[in-house]
Amino acid sequence: MRKIFLAVLLIGFIAYAGINFSENLTPYVSIAEATASNKNVQVKGLLDKNFEPQQSGGEFLFNLRDEFTGETLSVKYSGIKPDRFDAAYHVIAIGKYNSAEEIFHAQKLLVKCPSKYEGQQAQ
Amino acid sequence: MTGQTPTILLGGALTSTATLAWMFFKNEQAEMRHLKILTLVSMAIIAAISLWLWFLIFTDDFTTYYVAQYSSRDLPAMYKISVFWAGQAGSLLFWLLIHAMIGSILAYHNAPMKAMGVYFSVQCLLNFLVVLNSPFWENPIAQDDGFGLNPLLQDPWMAIHPPLVFAGYAILAVPLSLSLGNLLESSSKKWLEPARKWTLIASVLLGAGIFIGGYWAYKVLGWGGYWAWDPVENSSLVPWLVSVVLLHLIILSKKKSAVLPMAHIAAVFTYSLVIYGTFLTRSGVLGEFSVHSFASSKISLAIALVNAIIFLGGLLIILIKAKDFPRGRMYENFKDPAYATLLGMLMLVFIAIVVWLGMSAPLILQFFGKAAAVSPTFYEAVTKPLALIMAAIMIYIFVKVGWQISFGGKIAHLGVLAGVAAMIISAQGETVDRIFMNNIEVDVFGHKFTYNGQIFETDSCRKFYVFNVDGQEVRALTKLRENGDDAAREPAILRNFTGDIYIAPNPNSFRPQELILDKGRFQMDGEIGYTFKSVEVKHVDDKYLESITAEIEVTDGVTTENVQLLINFRREGAISYPVEFLNGKRRIRLIGVSDDRLKLRLEILPTLEEISQLPIIATISTKPFIWVLWLSAAAVCAGTLAAVKK
């Protein structure tokens, strides 16, 4: 009886962990895939220099551009512009695409800089 | 010169270690005296190599690639010490150094021969990794100054965090060696007491390293609080959790022989997970999943190989010796404290599995087509119930047989209980973003906040955002780069009995205005007149840009000044130094020069005075009773350390 109880508890826990695992899985996708998906994803792109990033209150807006196809994606990050954002060459946005607003809502941003000491490049 | 001698010495160390491993396995007791001396020789070679690296760091030898990457001339001495372990190659050498030192201690404490054989075999593998990835490689380019240590890491806490973690990693090889050595020699319980002590020492060091890392992550911005479930954090958490399991199984094994096989398995798993964590954070596979920037490494395959040798080799020895293990019951009945302890350890194993799965997800899922990571919500949702069950079990054991637990054990366990409670309570705080105008009071969460602007230190290396909360002044530090940009930011923290008020100011964003000057022509911008006088462009070997120096004359009609503008080029980018003139009236920097050198492009930046008056957005949060968490972490370490001496 006790063994059955323990087995049920164990299976229950594995199921709970499994559901949480798949729910919180954020696949790594392209911009095209991100706009087609209604799940949490992480999308990587270059900063679109044609659009000036804006901070309005607690929201930060910027555009990502696909490195290969050139497609762009408007991203709204609920938070403040991350450190070293301007020096970034790649930005990884983690969140979900809202097709009604045509905006990607990011909860987290990972900023990838070319090196730890990149300065302003002379033109 | 740089690379040759230490590389030969590294080869010498590898040879002596391999000889030692072989001789210990041969088990010639008569030669013990010589073997002890040989362990000292082997350790001395590695110590000499390490001192050599420190010497190169302190003498600013930028012909060594590693030194050029992580050090610089102006780095304070304290951080030059920590340059040693700032990168992968150096941290592996540091690990080897601690491992070799412990090896000599073991030899002089007459550790069993076979255990020493295993220990020095592991040292061979570590030494092999250092040979493959030496910090002594020559710099392919000539450099006058190094790139310096990441400003975020120039922090006293960060100077001691890595050596503690690596010392913990190194010492976890001792229980592994004692366990496997015992199986190879004669299965007995003699290994348990020394293994208990060494596991305690290792888990204190590793635990202290993890806690200090967490405290540092809390008091800087950009790491997402004391624990962000980042792969680099998780990869040290998993071996620590498993080392705690190992410790309890060793203690239980003394009374219940049937637990012995599990203790052996735990010893193998603990050390294998140490190597696995190193592999995961060094392989580059997590590069897109972590705040930490990982460089993919050439030796990741070698680390994977070492991991496989230790893990499979260890399990094989246990399997071969399985028939000799004592039989019996692990616990008498369900009221036996041993049963509750095992159940508690099962919870800890579950937590370790959950974290392991989460951090390995990108690696595992890559094999199934699409790489993916799990968000922190997964870890929090799944580990919280497990931690609560474990806490309940601990309270049960305390009530039942608390008097049997040693003083140190009591402190450590109370620390864990308080820590679990503090983690849950401190997460109940509130967070809000607010705009602050200079000297205007704002009410947030029942506290009165006033922002009093920014203060720049005279050398412009650091600045502070000054806040006043309920009459008390707090400052948020921002370290600045040479070009005036933010390099590393810290929050302002007001510490109270009821918890911390945590203020994270966000950098001002402004669009600098550009100004193009024609050579020799007088131009006005606002009330300031500029004349571009001369420019000098220097090259290295007539090939690469080295620096651009421009001289301009500025005037406000009353005063005239000559201003020197400078861009310095380094391999990883250019630095343009902002210059303030006419008594702080204007601040500019040079950002370009035309090919014919007749036009200069300048950027007009806000003056320091203007910056300090700008309104800012700050994120305000409360962290109820967060100090209990720091206190409980200290209790866990102190208690565990006290338990070493039984």
| Contacts with B292 (C-beta within 8 Å, 6 or more apart), sequence order | B230, B231, B232, B281
Q: Which of residues 491-520 of B touch A (CB under 8 A)?
A: 506-507, 509, 511
Other Cβ atoms within 10 Å of A73 Cβ, number: 22
Token couple for B159: 């100077």
d(CA B24, CA B115): 8
Q: Is the dihedral of CA B352, B358, B360, B364 positive or negative?
A: positive
Segment-wise mean pLDDT, segments of 10 residues, chain A, 123 residues: 83 90 85 86 85 75 88 85 72 88 87 44 24
The b-or-e profile of B309-326 (16+ CB within 10 A means b, else e) is: ebbeebeebbeebeeebe
Nearest 5 degrees, angle CA B68-CA B70-CA B74? 80
pLDDT in tens, B509-553: 677 788 999 999 999 888 899 999 999 988 876 667 788 999 999
Interface probe for A, chosen from B289, B347, B548, B600 (most Cβ of A below 10 Å), is: B289
Question: What pLDDT is attached to residue B48?
Answer: 95
At B418, the pLDDT band (50, 70, 90 cuts) reads: very high
> For residue B154, how many other CB atoms are within 10 A of its CB?
18
Do the beta carbons of residue B530 and residue B553 sit within 8 Å? yes
**Dihedral of CA B134/B135/B138/B140: which sign?**
positive
pLDDT value at residue B364: 85
Which amino acid, residue B57?
I
- Give the mean pLDDT of chain B: 89
Residue from B158, B165, B249 nearest B203 by CA: B165
- Chain B neighbours among A 5-24 (CB < 8 Å)? 13, 16-17, 20-21, 23-24
The reply to whether residue A21 touches residue B374, judged by beta carbons under 8 angstroms, is yes
Query: Is pLDDT above 60 for B294?
Result: no
Q: Where are the domains of chain B?
A: 431-508+615-627, 513-605
Tokens of B523: 């131009």
For chain A, say whether B374 makes contact (Cβ under 8 Å): yes
The confidence score (pLDDT) of residue B543 equals: 66
Smallest Cβ distance to B575: which of A17, A92, A119?
Answer: A119
With contacts defined as CB-CB under 8 Å, which chain B residues touch A94? 375
Q: How far apart are CA B171 and CA B267, in angstroms?
A: 12
Residues in A closer than 8 angstroms to B290, CB to CB, are 110
Nearest CA in chain B to A58: B433
The pLDDT confidence band at residue B289, using thresholds 50, 70 and 90, is low
The pLDDT value recorded for residue B30 is: 65
Cβ–Cβ below 8 Å for A24 and B617: no
| Cβ-based contacts under 8 A for chains A and B | 126
Q: What whole-number percentage of chain B has pLDDT above 70?
A: 95
User: Is the pLDDT score of B47 beyond 90?
Assistant: yes
Least confident piece of the model among A109-113, B83-87, B371-375, B473-477: A109-113
Q: Which domains are delineated in chain A?
A: 26-112 (2.40.50.140)
Angle at B490 between CA B486 and CA B493, to 5 degrees: 150
B523/B532 Cα distance (integer angstroms): 9
| Distance in Å, alpha carbon of A99 to nearest chain B alpha carbon | 22
Range B3-9 average pLDDT:
81
- Token code pair at residue A115: 């090196």
Mean pLDDT of B452-462: 86
What confidence score (pLDDT) does residue A122 get? 25
CATH 2.60.98, applies to B431-508+615-627: yes
pLDDT digits (tens, 9 = 90+) for B347-386: 999 999 999 999 998 888 877 877 788 888 899 999 999 9
Q: What letters, b where the CB count within 10 A reaches 16 and e where it falls short, cover B343-353? A: bbbbbbbbbbb
Residues of B in contact with A24 (CB under 8 A): 374-375, 377-378, 381
Do the chains contact at A26 and B617, CB–CB below 8 Å? Answer: no
Higher-scoring residue by pLDDT: B192, A67: B192
Which chain B residues are within 8 Å of A26, Cβ to Cβ? 372-375
Please indicate whether, in this complex, the C-beta atoms of A122 and B481 are within 8 angstroms of each other. no
Phi, psi (deg, nearest 5) at residue B123:
-60, -35
Contact B179, B192 (CB under 8 A): no
Look at B507 and A25 and tell me if their CB atoms are within 8 Å.
no
